[in-house]
Structure 1
Amino acid sequence: MNTLVIIPTYNERDSLPKTIEAVHRWTAHAHILVVDDSSPDGTGEWAAELAARDERVFVLHRTAKNGLGAAYVAGFGWALGRDYTIICEMDADGSHRGRDLPQLLAAVEEGADLAIGSRWISGGAVVNWPRNRHLLSRGANVYVSAALGLGVKDATAGFRAYRREALAAIDLDDIESLGYCFQIDMTKRILDAGFSIAEVPITFVERELGESKMSGRIIKEAMMRVTSWGLEHRAQQVRSLVGRG
């Protein structure tokens, strides 16, 4: 199947080469699209130089740092304009291991519309995370589960593989989530559209190079959006019960 791995970047010049090398090692047939938000450290320029030498690598240069969600939406649009049948998300910082990518692709090939690389199911693991990051991720997923009832253990995970048809059915222009809540947003939209999700255990490794993009603003956005979606979800449940009565 024609596979594209989308890797959004902002100042990932040190870590991106290792990530691309790992993808090529474990999934040699996959193409890679680097979506760079005008990184001051030259990430986009390095990727463009690689793309000139390697026909499996492409670069989408964006003019501003507009958030993870906007970068992925741009990448999805680029992919859907071509003949890719599986479209993946992967971080540039080394936290997503190339060796786990074949498992995600296999889950889609076996019938899942979205395969999520999950840290919080049996067999999943996190390496070198401080306690506060454990609590933040675990707590966020518990809150998402309680608010939205998605039935997914790791709705915030960013290591994913989508079947083309599932992405094509989503109104990408309607997505406003910018930070990590984009992953929750996409999980909700996939389920609302009637598609299936499989969670695959992965090992998540804390980055060794560069700086985390997590911030208070990103956490606040996720909290506000999930709360809003949760209230809407509860209202729909109430309307359904009233209608039955």
Structure 2
Amino acid sequence: MSGTIICIPTFDEIDNLGPLVAGIREAAPDVHLLVIDDASPDGTGELADAIAAEDAHVHVLHRSGKQGLGRAYLAGFAYALEHGYDVVVEMDADGSHRAVDLPALLDGLEDADVVLGSRWIAGGRVSGWPLRRQLLSRAGNLYARLLLMLPVRDATGGFRAYRAATLRQLGLDTVRSDGYCFQVELVHRAIESGAVVHEVPITFLERRAGTSKMSGRIVVEALLRIAVLALAGPAVRPGAVAGPLQPAEQR
């Protein structure tokens, strides 16, 4: 199978999933969606199954429990690569990423291998965040940029598109970061591998409903992990190809 698939990790996002899927299907009707649910107690996984039963563009992976954002994305990447998709997109389930920004993200792959939806370049913006959260995000990105010498402004954002061929070069089977740092490690590996990474401006919204999973502990762990990445040697070399990821459980 060729085409584009959007990986959407979920945990207790029952109020957000339906509107998100509807928005994506309207903005980019040809793409496929993969909901990766970590056994949400609120029934998000069951809702995803119901949506998938009515729409052949929607697929669902069920995992046995909450195992973290990074593990969820790696499971989604394994599914996408196993099923032969050409482009793999990351997108949050909480409504903070606008479906209307998808076409620009995908168009950016015409001359890039990875495209980051960026809040912190010209034209990008954040809506609904207090100044404290904006400063925290900017500071985290500056910290990652300086320690890892990243030529991007928004390395922590979770709205991005990869060419499948690029994902295969990132040594995904050795990624150890999760949560906030997972996004940083992947863009770091992409740049190390020689991939062309571009940013396009997006509007980032406060979550539509539900409770944020972000916490001070997660941020501190991410800062420490970024320091570890900076001290470690290269994780990938240009042109390196990883072994296949193990496919995740599918129902």
TM over 0.5: yes
> Gaps spanning 5+ residues in structure 2: where?
235-251
Give, in whole Å, the separation in 1 of the partners of 2:129 and 2:17. Answer: 20
Q: Which residue of 1 aligns with 2:47?
A: 46
Q: Which residue of 2 aligns with 1:13?
A: 14
Q: Which residue of 1 aligns with 2:134?
A: 134
Mean Cα displacement is larger for which, 222-231 or 159-168?
222-231
Q: Equivalent residue of 2:170, what SS?
A: coil
Report how far residue 82 of structure 1 moved. Answer: 1.0
The answer on whether the counterparts of 1:179 and 1:221 sit within 8 Å (CA) in structure 2 is no
Q: Which residue of 2 aligns with 1:23?
A: 24
The normalised TM-score by structure 1 is 0.93
The answer on whether the counterparts of 1:66 and 1:178 sit within 8 Å (CA) in structure 2 is no
Give, in whole Å, the separation in 1 of the partners of 2:66 and 2:232. Answer: 30
Kindly provide the amino acid, as one letter, of the partner of residue 17 in structure 1.
G
1:62 equivalent to 2:63? Answer yes
Deviating beyond 6 angstroms after TM superposition, the runs of 4 or more aligned structure 1 residues are: none
Q: Which residue of 2 aligns with 1:181?
A: 181
Q: Equivalent residue of 2:40, what SS?
A: coil
Rg comparison, structure with higher value: 1
Report how far residue 101 of structure 1 moved. Answer: 0.4
Question: Which structure is higher in helix share?
Answer: 1
Q: Percent identity?
A: 50
Give, in whole Å, the separation in 2 of the partners of 1:208 and 1:99. Answer: 15
Report how far residue 217 of structure 1 moved. Answer: 2.3
Give, in whole Å, the separation in 2 of the partners of 1:55 and 1:233. Answer: 43
Kindly provide the amino acid, as one letter, of the partner of residue 13 in structure 2.
E
Report how far residue 178 of structure 1 moved. Answer: 1.5
Q: Which residue of 2 aligns with 1:242?
A: none
Q: Which residue of 2 aligns with 1:3?
A: 4
Q: Equivalent residue of 1:194, what SS?
A: coil
For each residue in 1:204-240, what CA deviation from the matched residue of structure 2 results, as whole angstroms up to 9, or x when unmatched? Answer: 0101300111012211221111111223479xxxxxx
Q: Equivalent residue of 2:14, what SS?
A: coil
1:149 equivalent to 2:153? Answer no
Report how far residue 95 of structure 1 moved. Answer: 0.4
Q: Equivalent residue of 1:60, what SS?
A: strand
Give, in whole Å, the separation in 2 of the partners of 1:20 and 1:232. Answer: 39
Q: Which residue of 2 aligns with 1:193?
A: 193
For each residue in 1:156-179, what CA deviation from the matched residue of structure 2 results, as whole angstroms up to 9, or x when unmatched? Answer: 010000001000112211111111
The normalised TM-score by structure 2 is 0.91
Q: Which residue of 2 aligns with 1:118?
A: 118
Report how far residue 114 of structure 1 moved. Answer: 0.4
Give, in whole Å, the separation in 1 of the partners of 2:88 and 2:166. Answer: 10
For each residue in 1:65-117, what CA deviation from the matched residue of structure 2 results, as whole angstroms up to 9, or x when unmatched? Answer: 11100000000000000121110000011100000000010011x12100000
Give, in whole Å, the separation in 1 of the partners of 2:78 and 2:61. Answer: 11
Kindly provide the amino acid, as one letter, of the partner of residue 140 in structure 1.
G
Q: Equivalent residue of 1:15, what SS?
A: helix
Kindly provide the amino acid, as one letter, of the partner of residue 173 in structure 2.
D
Give, in whole Å, the separation in 1 of the partners of 2:104 and 2:213. Answer: 26
Size of the aligned set, in residue pairs, is: 233
Indicate the RMSD between aligned Cα atoms, in angstroms: 1.2
Mean Cα displacement is larger for which, 152-161 or 221-230?
221-230
Q: Which residue of 2 aligns with 1:238?
A: none
Q: Equivalent residue of 2:6, what SS?
A: strand
